[in-house]
Structure 1
């Protein structure tokens, strides 16, 4: 058979496959109600059998998660055939009815009263919880509350346009963040959900170990080398993200989540999508979701996009930190809390004064390079993961080398004036002591946590977390200090990330390179401030 005939045969085969898939799709769409009904009945039967067998054994997290998944599946199936307006329309009418008399109040007075009410509610809730041996004292809670107020005041004082600040957006974002923290710290369901999620993430990403053993052997896989333990999980996560993107699951989740923030916080669709994507994808990759809109973002939106990346870590490095012994529940909670917090902090520092192109609507454009199939998506994700691994490796080598070189020079100078072990972390660590106090660190650990925060800014959160766990394992810092420090360090806000974001975002919008460079340092500070606000709220509720 000649090459032309072979090509024709391949084309005929493809046409046959498309025809078959088209016939099945038409049949499925015609009888979709019955397909969904059968799927729901099967799921209901399975869940009923599972509960009948497991509930008599007593409560456990698995039953809770199974019930939540089944509830979500049932609601999804219901709204596949019933318009969501049956819920949203009455809800909108109720909100309009309640808001009508409220809107009669002067806007400035309304925002002031709303802010005062939320602050009073937060303060009353924090101090209402009883004090026991496993919780913080009321004095420690007061320190964290004062810290929260000071952080907000700093953002207001340094704002580029204080008159343009939308206080309703700021107050609502902080309220959402507090309610999420309250749900995790002070409710059994919240604690169990995030504990299960952390356990699931750790278990799922740990499966990369089998690939590591196959490629390098069990001896190297068990060696405890940082790169061998962390990088395979990172590659695996990157592949998972691309597979979810190929299936459309990630876009669906981001769209649904972003709609909430667009309607509740009154931000643009581009800002909402990036903020929701940051805990999954991290800095730089999150902006790829709005690549067509990048050249047209307002300065406020560009600042928010960058701040969202600085304010959280990504799922790709989550396993690395959990493997160090850092509580996965705290890391996951911090990542989710960063979504509303980064919006609040960025909108205070750089308020919106222009008209965003995506105001009031959520769009997640299709990827420029559509994967051919599931395996192609996995391979593309793995290739992306390799690039991220090499970038992390290069950054760690260069930054640590530079940091220790600077410290060697400072130590040499310190010896002339009888100051032993003078380092950059020691000097700036004392500068961060007030911030360490404001997030609720135990008094005896203020300097140590301050130095960890300084290490994170000068180097990165990898180095800071390694130092933190070393201190905790040596009983040099308390459990409370370790928990609040975990929140304070949980973000990419460091000097090396500034260069990364400028480089990537400038390539996506070359004509905005000047704006991006001018906003980068401010966005990094806002990202760091977001993690400190999260830490102060954790300090109030721990």
Structure 2
């Protein structure tokens, strides 16, 4: 029965994207089908085979070792601080972003990461029939944040019409940055975080390609990675990566303070208004009930769907870090299937604040195209939420 509900959820998700499409007759149905099959094969391989399980275990071990290296740097700077049991989230989680950002910056300077992204993107383009720039950006968005992913293709921006701009923006919003994956896996199970990375890439491309289909002439479909890094030496790359990582850590910390405090304020207002009805009414509970129907279709147990839905809703109105920190204490109470589905759903930038981030980045690259992003901002968010639902549903089929 759960498999049938999951299949129904996939059909509804793709159907909603189809209803939003601005060129229904131009949809690349073959490419969509291929990417859906690839998602199913990846999830089956990772969760149902010993080789897949070993790969996830190996990648997790690499991240854990990198976290150990990063922790040495944090301890050197902050080793004199006495913290309570459980540590301090900013010290133990967010500051590690600095090391991961530094590593990514060095790999980019050495042209190792751009080359891998370019050729993997080219392979995806060849198999699915999607344009190269969109495929490259989809893979690129696995490693870099929303702003960095879009900046990496700034030299190709003049080729992007409104539909192509929608697809690259959706890829940026539907994925997460590798620089903060190390922080994620300290909060939630790493196996689900890691499998979410390729699944969300394909989901974002699928949903965006349905909503905004494109046909691209070959002369306009080229990827240039010659200027992806402006650093003049490996030491400059390390320094700039560290500064960028520090900026990200501070931004995340500031957003957590603002969003969590704002949630408390909203909940106080809700409880004040509805004090005569129930003292347990919160924004999270309201969101839980709203998302409960789709949660059941995704495979979440009815007994857990309100709590799970509230976490997913919190992620949409705030960000993934707020939702993850709220979900972490519930891990011992939830079934493994619910944990997997919710974790994959949370592993993306699909939230309201991302609209502003993407619009601001595009404005810095091409102010005229930023107008288009602002116009389809809500459509971009809805598409990204559908992509998160699709990825989470597929994972639920194999748990």
Determine the structure 2 residue equivalent to 1:415: 275
* Paired residues of 1:298 and 1:355 also in contact (CA < 8 A): no
Alignment partners' CA distance in 1, 2:141 and 2:264: 31
Larger Rg over CA atoms? 1
* Paired residues of 1:432 and 1:454 also in contact (CA < 8 A): yes
- Unpaired runs of 5+ residues, structure 2, are none
Q: State the TM-score, normalized to the length of structure 2.
A: 0.95
* Paired residues of 1:270 and 1:363 also in contact (CA < 8 A): no
Alignment partners' CA distance in 2, 1:222 and 1:450: 31
Shift of 1:357: 6.1
- The answer as to 2:53 corresponding to 1:191 is yes
* Paired residues of 2:176 and 2:349 also in contact (CA < 8 A): yes
Determine the structure 1 residue equivalent to 2:214: 352
* Paired residues of 2:203 and 2:391 also in contact (CA < 8 A): yes
Shift of 1:218: 5.2
Task: Determine which of 227, 238, 241 is the counterpart of 2:104.
Answer: 241
1:220/1:256 Cα in 2 relative to 1: closer, same or farther (>3 Å)? farther
Task: Determine which of 332, 340, 365 is the counterpart of 2:202.
Answer: 340
- Give per-residue Cα distances to partners, 1:407-438, cap 9 Å, x unaligned: 2111111114x222322222122110011112
Which has the larger displacement, 151-160 or 346-355? 346-355
1:196/1:521 Cα in 2 relative to 1: closer, same or farther (>3 Å)? same
- Secondary structure of the residue aligned to 1:160 is coil
Determine the structure 2 residue equivalent to 1:540: 397
Alignment partners' CA distance in 1, 2:306 and 2:318: 18
Determine the structure 1 residue equivalent to 2:6: 144
- Give per-residue Cα distances to partners, 1:481-526, cap 9 Å, x unaligned: 1111111111110111211111112111112121011122212222
- Secondary structure of the residue aligned to 2:331 is helix
Alignment partners' CA distance in 1, 2:144 and 2:394: 25
Shift of 1:358: 3.6
Determine the structure 2 residue equivalent to 1:318: 181
Task: Determine which of 301, 307, 310 is the counterpart of 1:442.
Answer: 301
- Give per-residue Cα distances to partners, 1:206-244, cap 9 Å, x unaligned: 311111111111545786101101222100011001110
Task: Determine which of 363, 367, 375 is the counterpart of 2:224.
Answer: 363
* Paired residues of 1:289 and 1:365 also in contact (CA < 8 A): no
Determine the structure 2 residue equivalent to 1:403: 263
Shift of 1:205: 2.5
* Paired residues of 2:131 and 2:216 also in contact (CA < 8 A): no
How many matched pairs? 398
- Secondary structure of the residue aligned to 2:395 is helix
Determine the structure 1 residue equivalent to 2:370: 513
Q: State the TM-score, normalized to the length of structure 1.
A: 0.71
Alignment partners' CA distance in 2, 1:381 and 1:518: 33
- Secondary structure of the residue aligned to 1:284 is helix
- Secondary structure of the residue aligned to 2:311 is helix
Which has the larger displacement, 419-428 or 444-453? 419-428
Shift of 1:365: 3.5
- Unpaired runs of 5+ residues, structure 1, are 1-138
- Give per-residue Cα distances to partners, 1:313-348, cap 9 Å, x unaligned: 211221222212x22121111111122221111111
Task: Determine which of 476, 483, 489 is the counterpart of 2:346.
Answer: 489
User: RMSD across aligned C-alpha pairs, in angstroms?
Assistant: 1.8
Alignment partners' CA distance in 1, 2:173 and 2:83: 32
- Give per-residue Cα distances to partners, 1:450-497, cap 9 Å, x unaligned: 111111101111111122221123x2x222111111111111101112
- The answer as to 2:331 corresponding to 1:456 is no
Alignment partners' CA distance in 2, 1:438 and 1:314: 28
Task: Determine which of 224, 246, 250 is the counterpart of 1:390.
Answer: 250
